[in-house]
């Protein structure tokens, strides 16, 4: 008899983006009638929530004919988006030029170059964004521009939001997220509010003087154009010490190893939990803690 060969449709790496776990906090929540949940976006292939918009921005640019394999892509980034774009560029065959502040952690820089990206270091995110646009004008590549590209929030509208709704069986009452480009909170807010307008959307920004990697208080001239303030019900100003302390507690008391902005999001969720009852709160754990180890932040203070 002839040998029958079965064709198996194995996934590619891009197929593994999304569908991340939503888990319950066991110790930090304390005695409460509320359910406190966190979405583990560090489980994405390149280690952060930014895998979702990175894939979406590149694939939509391909579909529109704006880019083709072999083109050079340019992006200003503080870290996670750059790592995610470098991964997707490697999958699809693009040259990736990333412009980032020179104070980014060594792990972030190393991860980008491991994927084959070329790095340009500047003094600030504002300078990085300006240089990216200048390089595009000079014909050195195509800027995807996560700050104004609607494919960024749309990625979360199509994936992150529906996942949270399904994973909570439609019971989510509060969504808490750090705000950098604001793509995550914009897309998730739009989806959840369409399902239930009563869901409260809470955004996190650093308190004046605080330095929390991945989130910003943008000067008006640099405010991401994808941001729509009407989609956020409450903005929490988060202190650096509070975010760092909660980040360390997450590792030591919950086994959740994450970055500072994720610690801030959970700290904000704990604050909100004290003011409500019988609620289902969801916070985004946007990345993993291993890309911050060289900063010494995990060893800097005992809990």
Question: Is 50 labeled as catalytic in the residue annotation?
Answer: yes
Which residues, 6 or more positions from 264, have their beta carbon under 8 angstroms from its beta carbon?
178, 204, 206, 212, 215, 238, 242, 243, 246, 247
- CA dist 234 and 230 (Å) reads 10
Residue pair 40/21 in contact (Cβ under 8 Å)? The answer is yes
What CATH number does the domain located at 51-143 have?
3.40.50.1100
Spans of all domains in the chain? 13-43+160-295, 51-143
What is the pTM for the complete model shown? 0.93
Q: What is the mean pLDDT of residues 12-35?
A: 96
Over the stretch 37-81, which tens digit does the pLDDT of each residue have?
Answer: 999 999 999 999 999 999 999 999 999 999 998 899 999 998 899
- Tell me the average pLDDT across 219-234: 93
Q: Residue 158 pLDDT more than 60? A: yes
261 is catalytic: yes
Q: Which of 39, 50, 109, 193 is catalytic?
A: 50
| Per-residue model confidence as pLDDT tens digits over 230-275 | 999 999 999 999 999 999 999 999 999 999 999 999 999 999 999 9
Same fold, 13-43+160-295 and 51-143: yes
Choosing from 78, 177, 178, 261, which is the catalytic residue?
Answer: 261
Residue 26: the pLDDT is 95
Q: Say which CATH topology domain 13-43+160-295 has.
A: Rossmann fold (3.40.50)
Identify the residue with better confidence: 8 or 303. 8
């Amino acid at each position: 008899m002839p040998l029958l060969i079965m064709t198996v449709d194995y996934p590619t790496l891009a197929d593994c983006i999304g569908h991340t776990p939503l888990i319950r906090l066991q110790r930090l929540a304390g005695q409460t009638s509320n359910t406190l949940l966190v979405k583990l976006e560090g489980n994405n292939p390149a280690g952060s929530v930014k895998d979702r918009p990175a894939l979406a921005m590149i694939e939509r640019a391909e579909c529109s004919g704006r880019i083709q394999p072999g083109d050079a892509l340019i992006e200003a980034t503080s870290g996670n988006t750059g790592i995610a774009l470098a991964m997707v560029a490697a999958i699809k065959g693009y040259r990736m030029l990333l412009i980032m502040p020179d104070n980014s952690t060594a792990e972030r820089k190393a991860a980008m170059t491991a994927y084959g990206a070329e790095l340009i270091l500047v003094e600030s995110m504002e300078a990085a964004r300006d240089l990216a646009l200048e390089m595009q004008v000079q014909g050195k590549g195509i800027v995807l521009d996560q700050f104004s590209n609607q494919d960024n929030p749309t990625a979360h509208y199509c994936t992150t939001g529906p996942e949270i709704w399904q994973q909570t069986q439609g019971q989510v009452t509060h969504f808490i997220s750090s705000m950098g480009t604001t793509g995550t909170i914009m897309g998730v807010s739009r989806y959840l509010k369409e399902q239930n307008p009563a869901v409260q959307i809470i955004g996190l920004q650093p308190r004046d003087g605080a330095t929390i990697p991945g989130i910003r208080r943008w000067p008006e001239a640099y405010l991401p154009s994808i941001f729509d303030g009407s989609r956020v019900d409450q903005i929490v100003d988060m202190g650096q010490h509070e975010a760092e302390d909660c980040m360390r507690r997450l590792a030591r008391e919950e086994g959740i190893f994450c970055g500072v902005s994720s610690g801030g999001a959970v700290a904000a969720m704990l604050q909100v939990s004290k003011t409500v009852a019988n609620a289902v709160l969801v916070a985004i754990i946007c990345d993993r803690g291993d890309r911050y180890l060289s900063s010494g932040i995990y060893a800097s203070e005992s809990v």
